[in-house]
Structures are given as C-alpha cells and as structure tokens.
Structure 1
Amino acid sequence: MVTYQRILVVINPEQERQIALERAFKIAELHPHSRLTLLLSIYDFSYEMTAMLSSEEREEMRQGVMSQRREWLDDIVSAYQTKQIEWEIKVVWHNRPFESIIQEALEQHHDLVVKATHHHNFLQTFIFTPTDWHLLRKCPCPVLLVKEGHWKRGGNMIAAINCSSDDPDQKRLNERITQEGSDIAELLGANLYLVNTYPGTPMNVAIELPEFDPHAYNEAIRHHHENLLLSHADKFGIGHLWTRVAEGLPEEVLPDLAEELNANLMVMGCVGRTGLSAALLGNTAEHVVDRLSCDLLILKPADYICPVESRRSQS
C-alpha cells in the first residue's frame, strides 16, 4: 500500500487560496503520521541590485521580507491546525523556484511534492521552461499537480500506461502506475480505470498502398492493444469493464477520456527526458497537464536518478 509520510507543499506567493495546501491536508488525513512541509520560494531582483546598501543591509532586508511572508503563511495554515497534522513552514530566498523544490525534496527525502498548476502559454514555454515542467522532468519523488476542484469519494480515477512497449523500464513503470493508482483508489473509495492509447494508421501508408485496408489494420492494432491491456489488468485484479483503449496520441486522447469519465485524478509516468531530446520532443506528461481539468500525479521509474543528485555525486 502506497504511503505518503513526508509531503512537500509548494506555496504560491501570488495566490491567497492555496489549492495545493488544501489537497495536501486531504492526503495527510488519509495517511496517519504524515508530516507536511510548506515551502515558499521568493526572490526580488531589486534587493540584489541596491548599490546604496551594504551586503549586510541587503541581507537584513531579505530576512524582513521572508519574515513577513512567514507570518502570512502562518495565518493561512492556522485554519488547518484542528486537523491534528504535523506541519512546518520553510521560506527560502531563491531565484529558481524549481531548484529550491528539488533541493528540498532531495535533502529531506520527501515522498510526494504537491503543487498547484495552471495553463502554460505556448509562446512562454517556447522562451522558458515552466516550473511544472522542470519538476516533471527532474523531481526525484512523485509530483501531484493540482487543478481547481475537489476529490469526490466514490468518484473516478485514471491510470494511464503504455502496455505496448517492450522496454523493461517501461514495464516496471506500468506496474508502479497501476499499483499506486489502485492503492490511491482504495484510499479514496474511487473507481480506477486502466487506460492505454495507441497510434492510428499512418496516412502516408494508406495513400501509397492502394490495396491497404486501413480499417482492417486499425482493428488488428486495437485488438492487439486490448489484449495487452487486459492481460496487464488481470495481474492486478482489475475487471475488464474498467479498462479503456483509445486511438490517438496520448496528449490528445487522455484529456478527452478524463473529461468523458469525469475523473478527479490521473496517474501517469514520466521518463524524465532532459537536454536536447526534451527541447525537441518534450514529455507526454507536459502536454497532458495543460489540457487536463483534473489533478495529475506523475511517477518516475523506480531507478530514476535526479540530474541534480547526479551532479552532486560527481563533484
């Protein structure tokens, strides 16, 4: 059974309502002895460029700002104190929020990062990578990206896997997604749908080969993926009525399925692609999260090594 004992909650300094905090307390209620760490990363470039002040005076001003934000957070979290859940507040001065989040997750061995998310403008993402995308690629522990709305007991969840891959790492990731999804569904009293997508017929094949029957090809591919998915579902005792196979790219199909099933949460994996391949190809999870109206829980392969941790060990 999955347990989240150490939960890192990313606070948004620009919002009064902290939906990530709301969701984190809900999760902590389901996991006895959980502890929350509320992390607020702030930075103001003007404090670094004030030439009229000494370094000691600038540091004093930074500490003053951080103290004010800590008091602001104290007021917000006070509404949750009756829930008998342990929590602590950390306010850090950092110009790259995603790095402060990953550093905290690594140093304190958190089991889960919870963060609110929103739609990312394409032009903005072309210029710089959003914090959410950095976390999906690099965070060493599961990341829960929270949207507006509430988890409903007895609602629906989706575990999205890629059961057509022969890669051993992908197979292990499929198993983790399914098991963790099943555990969460049990805690929430929710229904879990196991979902797999597959690509449609390439248009150039249908055009270049007049005798090619795209309908028969599609049926054969669909039948193949259905068998793979049902075989996987049987390993975890998931009934065949709770499986779905859909044609199309996952970033296009999964959000539509989530809407159709009125899902509260989707669980999927992310290989953590970085560097040039990330710039050219991206990660499916990054494209899915912008179109989803429900929460998204992202899991990494069990042997995933965080790039930040790797650099530390080499230095």
Structure 2
Amino acid sequence: MPKSILVITDLNETNNCSLKKARDIAGPLGTEIDVVRFIKITATEQHDEVSVDKQSKILADSVTEVFANHQPQGSIKSQVVVTDDIVNWVVDYTNEKDFDLVVKAGHRSETLFHTPCDWALIRSLQVPVLIASQQGWRKKHVILAAIDPAAKDDVHRELNHAILEWTKKWGQKFDCSIHLVYSLPVSNILRELDIIDVQEYAREHRIEGEEQLTELLNGYDIPDVKLHVTAGAPERAIPHCANELKAELVIMGSLGRRGLQGMLIGNVAEKVIHHLRTDSLIIASNK
C-alpha cells in the first residue's frame, strides 16, 4: 500500500471528499499526506495574494478537522498553488516527490473536445490515481478488480500484474471482500445488430473464463476471491457488476492514450469511470 499520498482537493467537491478518502486509506498505514489546492489562472492573469492567503487558511482548517486523529500530525502538510497548468504541475511534483498514490475527487464534465483534469491526470501520471466518489465505505467494504486473463501482449500482462498486486495489498490492509471480473470481448457490430446475446455468451463461456482467472491468480495468494465473468462493452459490463456487488472500489488499468487518439478512441478505464458511482483506482501502464 502507498507510503506517501498526494491529495488534490478543491472548493467544488462536497464535504471534503478527497481528504476523507485519503484519511481512510492513511489511517491504518501511518502514511504521509501532502494536500494541494489550486488557484487556476491564465498565463496573462495576476493572482491575488489575499485570495491565496484566504484559501490557504481554509485548506489548513479543513485538513486539521479531517485529520484530527491522524498520527503523527507532522506527517501532513498542505499548500495552495497558483498555476495556469494544473496537470503539468502535478506531473512534475509527483516525479520530484516520488508519491505512491494520488487521490482526487471525481468531476463529471467531460465532452469530446474538453478533457477534464481527471482524464488528463490518468493519461499523464505514472502514479496510481484514486478518483474518489461521495460514497462512503462500509466496515467490510467490497472491492472489484477488472483484469484481462486472455491478454497476450506485455503491456496488458503487466497491467494485470499491477492490478492484482494492488488488490492483494488492499486485502491485506483492510477488511474487505475481494472480487475479480473478466469482461469477455464481443464484437461491437455483432452486439449492436443483436446477432449475439451477450448474457448468453457470458453464460456459455463462464467456466472457461473462470479457469483463466484462476490460472492468472496462481502465485498471488489472494484468499477468498469471488470470480465473475461478463460479456459486452467493458464500460457497461464492469459498472453493472460493481453495482450488483455494491462495490465501494473498482480497480482497473489504463493505457493512458493521449492526443487525438485519446479524444477519438478514448481509454477503456475512462469510459468505465464515466458510468461508475463508486471510487476508482486507476493503475497506469508504464509503456
């Protein structure tokens, strides 16, 4: 589990969501917490020192309230940063400080030609990103990890490994129920033309999919894992499975597509997050 966490918080999130999620993760681990809030300006604007001081005081008070019982108190620090490029600042800062995890409250403002900060961070960071929802965790919470046991290329295999490692660590540190889901690929054309029934397809290939998942799990020592095999578009199948399980956290990988490819093709993880109402832990590909 992470030893140091960067928390990105802002005034628009409800009830200090990102701070509370970071606290819940850090509490059992004694993790160092670095909290940042941004004042975004354009390259030609001048920032107001009074506004920075005011935001710094508000942020410090929120951190003190949320982390009142966190020990040691000296392991938490906060800052307000004025910048015209939040994503590049975060990328440079995470590279400099070598964080293990970034926590940020989710925002749902995406359109085809506008990439919100959530997506840009997922595509740019090599550090896992926890996109926090407003949903709280039960005492014994449910986590769902999405993997592809049929992956043939090294990039997807390494993502599988990273996802399972994080799933194992999470299970070791928290009292939770662990589930794995494999979304069988189905041709979009066949699905949209109703040539194939995805539910029937999943039933027919369930045993085969479970065998692939079981084989992939060998060597990870993750106890009491429940396996699920679905079919169809992952951005629909994975959120549906998470909803059925009432999962509090979904863990998945991201290839981090950028530029025009990212806008037009997108990233499966981003499409899945769009339909989730739970926390999402995104593991970036190193390729």
- The within-5 A match list for 1:150-189 is 150-189=136-175
Return the match for 1:108 from 82, 91, 97.
Answer: 97
- The within-5 A match list for 1:1-315 is 3-15=1-13, 17-32=15-30, 34-45=31-42, 48-49=44-45, 58=46, 62-79=48-65, 80-85=67-72, 86-120=75-109, 124-200=110-186, 221-238=205-222, 242-301=226-285, 303-304=286-287
Amino acid at match of 1:83: H
Q: CA deviation at 1:6?
A: 1.3
Within 1, Cα distance between the matches of 2:123 and 2:98? 17
1:212-257 per-position Cα deviation (integer Å, ceiling 9, x unaligned)? 9999976665444332112113333456861111011111111111
SS in 2 for 1:165: coil
Identity %: 27
SS in 2 for 1:126: coil
Q: CA deviation at 1:74?
A: 1.5
Amino acid at match of 1:74: A
1:153-178 per-position Cα deviation (integer Å, ceiling 9, x unaligned)? 32211111111110122112101101
Q: CA deviation at 1:286?
A: 0.8
Amino acid at match of 1:82: N
Is residue 178–residue 224 contact of structure 2 (8 Å, CA) maintained in 1? no
Larger radius of gyration between Structure 1 and Structure 2: 1
Unaligned residue ranges in structure 2 (runs of 5+)? none
**Backbone CA RMSD of aligned residues:** 2.8
Greater Cα shift, 9-18 or 252-261 = 9-18
1:90-130 per-position Cα deviation (integer Å, ceiling 9, x unaligned)? 2111123222222221111111100000323xxx5223101
More helix by proportion, 1 or 2? 1
Greater Cα shift, 193-202 or 83-92 = 193-202
Is residue 268–residue 285 contact of structure 1 (8 Å, CA) maintained in 2? yes
Q: CA deviation at 1:271?
A: 1.1
SS in 2 for 1:88: strand
Within 1, Cα distance between the matches of 2:271 and 2:197? 32
1:38-71 per-position Cα deviation (integer Å, ceiling 9, x unaligned)? 11110245x945xxxxxxxx5xx53322111101
SS in 1 for 2:182: strand
Amino acid at match of 1:30: P
Is residue 39–residue 101 contact of structure 1 (8 Å, CA) maintained in 2? no
Is residue 191–residue 197 contact of structure 2 (8 Å, CA) maintained in 1? no
TM-score scaled by structure 1?
0.81
Within 2, Cα distance between the matches of 1:151 and 1:139? 26
Is residue 56–residue 80 contact of structure 2 (8 Å, CA) maintained in 1? yes
SS in 2 for 1:226: helix
Q: Report how many aligned residue pairs link the two structures.
A: 283
Q: CA deviation at 1:10?
A: 0.4
Within 1, Cα distance between the matches of 2:197 and 2:180? 29
Amino acid at match of 1:261: L
